[in-house]
């Protein structure tokens, strides 16, 4: 069964936007992002690649805030250059999500526990989101989400 939750896009003021794909490690964020990037012709920021570039493997709350700001800075740069940007990362807390400040938030909610217990313990489900992905089927989800996003760009 295919369940898809769509909510109103309240923050998008133009078609240049930051799209956050967030969820627990192993939920399917990167797989979904890889499909959406192609369908929407966007820039892509993957958390692991950005952490590798920064050589910052601190996963404390402070480290995660730094990562959210780092991701936001890259995304804001691309957005200011006239691009749609997709960023996929855990973004486990309301503070991290606020720091990133997405125009569209996609919550990949396909697992209840990830592979890292410290992340499971700090992860707070988002109260507001634009899409909630509830099944691991990136082919279908990417098409559905891309169609909805294309309606507003």
For residue 129, what are the CA distances in angstroms to 6, 26, 112? 8, 19, 17
- In this predicted structure, what is the pLDDT of residue 15? 72
- In this predicted structure, what is the pLDDT of residue 10? 41
Give the pLDDT confidence of 103-119 residue by residue, as tens digits: 999 999 999 999 999 99
Q: What is the rounded distance in angstroms from the CA atom of residue 153 to the CA atom of residue 142?
A: 16
- In this predicted structure, what is the pLDDT of residue 74? 98
Q: What is the rounded distance in angstroms from the CA atom of residue 96 to the CA atom of residue 69?
A: 8
Give the pLDDT confidence of 56-83 residue by residue, as tens digits: 999 999 999 999 999 999 999 999 999 9
Give the pLDDT confidence of 131-148 residue by residue, as tens digits: 999 999 999 999 999 999
Residues 136, 17, 4: CA angle, nearest 5 degrees: 30
Residues 116, 118, 120: CA angle, nearest 5 degrees: 70
- In this predicted structure, what is the pLDDT of residue 152? 86
pLDDT over 80 (residue 6): no
Task: Tell me 132's DSSP state.
Answer: E
Q: Where are the domains of the chain?
A: 4-150
pLDDT over 90 (residue 7): no
Fold entry, domain 4-150: Rossmann fold (3.40.50)
Q: What is the rounded distance in angstroms from the CA atom of residue 21 to the CA atom of residue 30?
A: 8
pTM for this prediction:
0.90
- Would you give the end-to-end CA distance of the chain in angstroms? 29
């Amino acid at each position: 069964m295919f369940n898809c939750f769509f909510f109103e896009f309240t923050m998008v003021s133009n078609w240049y936007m930051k799209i956050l794909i967030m969820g627990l490690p192993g939920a399917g964020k990167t797989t979904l992002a890889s499909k959406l990037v192609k369908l929407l012709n966007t820039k892509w920021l993957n958390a692991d690649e950005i952490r590798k570039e920064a050589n910052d493997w601190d996963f404390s709350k402070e480290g995660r805030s730094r990562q959210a700001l780092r991701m936001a800075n890259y995304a804001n740069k691309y957005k200011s250059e006239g691009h749609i940007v997709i960023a996929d990362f855990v973004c486990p807390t309301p503070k991290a999500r606020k720091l990133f400040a997405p125009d569209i938030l996609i919550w990949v909610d396909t697992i209840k526990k990830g592979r890292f217990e410290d992340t499971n313990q700090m992860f707070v489900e988002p109260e507001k989101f634009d899409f909630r992905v509830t099944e691991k089927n990136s082919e279908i989800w990417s098409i559905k989400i891309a169609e909805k996003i294309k309606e507003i760009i």
